[in-house]
Amino acid sequence: MSGVSPKGRLAPVMPSESYRALTPNDLNAVVAFLRAKRPIKSDAPPQERHGALEPRRAIPGAETPLSDAGLADPLQQGLYVASLARCMSCHSGETDGAPDPERRLGQGGRIFRTPAGATVASNITSHPTKGVGAWTDQELKRAIIEGTGRDGKPLAPTMANLSKAHFSKMAERDIEALIAWLRTTPPKE
Ligand code: HEC
């Protein structure tokens, strides 16, 4: 959550900023799940740390733990899902090489290079033409949980693999809340 271990600040590859919103109950459940696992000896080399690392920014409103009571509000629930699913870590525009969810939330533009080729993260703000403001709920749901674009063609694996492996398992209430929240993101070009 804070991105700090007993040995110091964790590298940004551990995206703690996305988990600051975890409710105390959900955080305790994750810890209990981890503790229930059988110990396995690892041959991983010890970590090397080079100086201080800057913590990354969370989505505005998701910087501190949310509460179970707060999540009764569908828009809070949608923000929670977006934070934990890390939608805006990929889909926000970047400032100085890091996602900028404060000023460029959902604006897209980040480039992902994979063996399958380069893909640009889409603008998923409520902008009617540059973003997904004109998409129907059904089209958004299909993109998120199936990895299918508005034109019915598969999205690039950067998105589609997550859709299939993870987002397809979201509860109906979570998807609906996520879509409702996405529609509240300020339009960006
Ligand atoms: C690992 C980075 C990553 C994450 C995490 C991610 N996406 Fe994506 N997403 C992408 C990329 C890259 C594309 C563009 C794919 C393409 O153009 O084929 C995309 C495409 C989309 C599209 C289609 C938009 C369009 O104009 O075609 C939607 C909608 C979308 N993502 C929503 C989400 C939501 C909601 C989440 C969180 C539940 C999410 N994404 C998480 C990288 C990501």
pLDDT digits (tens, 9 = 90+) for 175-186: 999 999 999 999
Residue 13 pLDDT class (50, 70, 90 cuts): confident
> Considering the domain boundaries, does residue 189 fall inside one?
no
> Considering the domain boundaries, does residue 11 fall inside one?
yes
Residue 56 pLDDT class (50, 70, 90 cuts): confident
Residue 81, number of CB atoms within 10 A of its CB: 25
Q: Are 9 and 55 in contact (CB under 8 A)?
A: yes
pLDDT reported for residue 97: 87
Cα of 162 to ligand 1 centre, how many Å?
Answer: 9
87 lines ligand 1 (CB under 6 A): yes
> Considering the domain boundaries, does residue 49 fall inside one?
no
Residue 60 pLDDT class (50, 70, 90 cuts): very high
Give the C-alpha separation, 55 to 52, whole Å: 9
124 lines ligand 1 (CB under 6 A): yes
177 lines ligand 1 (CB under 6 A): no
Give the C-alpha separation, 143 to 147, whole Å: 5
Domain that holds residue 84: 4-36+56-182
pTM, 2 dp? 0.94
Half-sphere exposure of 151 (CA within 13 A, CB side): 3
Q: Are 5 and 67 in contact (CB under 8 A)?
A: no
> Considering the domain boundaries, does residue 171 fall inside one?
yes
Residue 3 pLDDT class (50, 70, 90 cuts): confident
pLDDT digits (tens, 9 = 90+) for 16-50: 999 999 999 999 999 999 999 999 998 888 777 66
Pick the residue whose CA is nearest to atom 24 on ligand 1: 122
Residues 36-63: b if buried by 16+ CB within 10 A, e if exposed: eeeeeeeeeeeeeeeeeeeebbbbebbe
Beta bridge mates, 119: 112
Question: Which residue is associated with the tokens 């505005």?
Answer: 60
> Considering the domain boundaries, does residue 169 fall inside one?
yes
53: pLDDT strictly greater than 70 = no
Return the closest-CA partner of residue 177 out of 42, 84, 97, 95.
Answer: 84
pLDDT digits (tens, 9 = 90+) for 119-149: 999 999 999 999 999 999 999 999 999 999 9
> Considering the domain boundaries, does residue 151 fall inside one?
yes
Of 32-41, 78-87, 89-98, give the range with the top mean pLDDT: 78-87
Give the C-alpha separation, 3 to 68, whole Å: 23
Rounded to an integer, the average pLDDT of 78-107 is 96
21 lines ligand 1 (CB under 6 A): no
- Residue 82, H or E segment: helix 74-85
> Considering the domain boundaries, does residue 45 fall inside one?
no
How many separate domains does the chain show? 1
121 lines ligand 1 (CB under 6 A): yes
pLDDT digits (tens, 9 = 90+) for 105-118: 999 999 999 888 99
- Which atom of ligand 1 sits closest to the CA of residue 182? 35
> Considering the domain boundaries, does residue 121 fall inside one?
yes
